[in-house]
Copies of this chain bind each other. A is one copy, B any other.
């Protein structure tokens, strides 16, 4: 879920390069304007709702080449390209989206939708509540992964995309992929959940809760009503540090930091930062606090905790009963937050329903965050899968049928 390490920019991906989508702009869709409002799964109503999104490539006249990118907890709509020539790095999945890349923007119309509850342009707790003229704060209703996807469906309607050729996302982005395929089976031709699960487990909920407690007990949090004053940066940075450890593998941390000291030759014997791994984590925490909203973090971490397809449908096999999409399920060998076993549960449930499913375990030492990093195996798997799906969908359309 960290995008801070995803800065690897190949030469052709630079602004103006042959493999870059170039300058892009975030767009906004607003709907559910009062009195309409959208009813959320928690029972509350929310409106108006704005979704931030970006698009790359062109939609075919047949509208059959749209690929939806769904981001993880801390992501945003800016998945590829550059917002300006001054940007230090491109969008968070630029490694995989662009001309000639795994998700080839010369073939596909790529849409990346930000999620509600966040703080990156879509409506969330830091947005102004039109009823009060002030930020929602904790009066913002709880949103679920289902609500996020229902909002994205409105975006699909507006863009005229009746059926996505494919959609992909890692971590909480994978939750959205699964939710789409299960909730709107006729609108998803194929799905690529990456490093994810059909429900969050007890250990992950535990880590989330500790992170939330760090924010909730920060005196600056003030019941969520901190906008305009000092933010709960200490607790929020802690929450991010905890989460960040879970995104990396022990093996990688050992290789990257070991027990090396930071800016010193010998132990200091005090409580200042001594080891490189401490310094790195603090940097990650401090950087994140500057670019994200603590309340959004609370809401989105709750949304991940609530995610459980088995519970909603009785079992995961039953959840997949109406699925029409074919699947490419991707896990990461060193991911201990969403271990391969979780992906295999998805594969089994899909196969039990006759859903065509391919499974790939990426061999990577980089832990959960590996999908943000260059990975040939991931590139090849996505590119090949999309090509096959595209061929089958066009063939079926030519034959008048609807497949896969």
Contact = CB atoms under 8 A, between A and B. Distances in A.
Interface in A130-167: 138, 141-142
Contacts of A184: none
Given A217-B234, A234-B217, A278 B209 contact: yes
A202 B271 contact: no
Given A202-B253, A306-B267, A336-B336, A281 B209 contact: yes
A96 to B, nearest CB: 28
A211 to B, nearest CB: 9
A209 B277 contact: yes
Contact of A238 (B213, B245, B336): B213
A311 B281 contact: no
B214 A214 contact: yes
Interface string A46-77: 00000000000000000000000000000000
A270 interface: yes
A254 B201 contact: yes
Interface in A213-228: 213-214, 216-217, 219
A142 to B, nearest CB: 4
A258 B203 CA distance: 9
A308 B273 CA distance: 18
Interface residues of A, number: 56
Interface in A273-309: 273-275, 277-278, 281-282, 298, 302, 305-306, 308
Contacts of A313: none
Nearest to A40: B269
A210 interface: yes
A257 interface: yes
Nearest to A311: B259
A351 interface: no
A241 interface: yes
A305 B141 CA distance: 42
A270 B311 CA distance: 19
A42 interface: yes
A219 B232 CA distance: 12
A267 B43 CA distance: 11
Interface in A307-347: 308, 311, 336, 339
A134 to B, nearest CB: 19
- Chain A facing B: main interface SS: helix
B205 A275 contact: yes
Contacts of A241: 206, 209-210, 213
Contact of A277 (B205, B212, B245, B253): B205
Contacts of A306: 267
Given A142-B270, A277-B205, A238 B214 contact: yes
Nearest to A200: B259
Contacts of A206: 241, 245, 253, 277-278, 281
Contact of A298 (B216, B271, B274, B281): B271
A396 B182 CA distance: 72
Nearest to A217: B234
A203 B308 contact: no
B242 A210 contact: yes
Contacts of A270: 142
B42 A205 contact: no
A340 B142 CA distance: 42
A-B pairs, top 9 by smallest CB distance, nearest first, are A42-B269, A142-B269, A202-B253, A217-B234, A209-B278, A203-B250, A202-B257, A202-B277, A210-B241
22 contacts: A142-B270, A199-B259, A202-B250, A202-B253, A202-B254, A203-B253, A203-B254, A205-B259, A206-B245, A206-B277, A207-B245, A209-B275, A209-B277, A210-B281, A213-B237, A213-B241, A216-B271, A217-B238, A219-B219, A242-B242, A271-B298, A274-B305
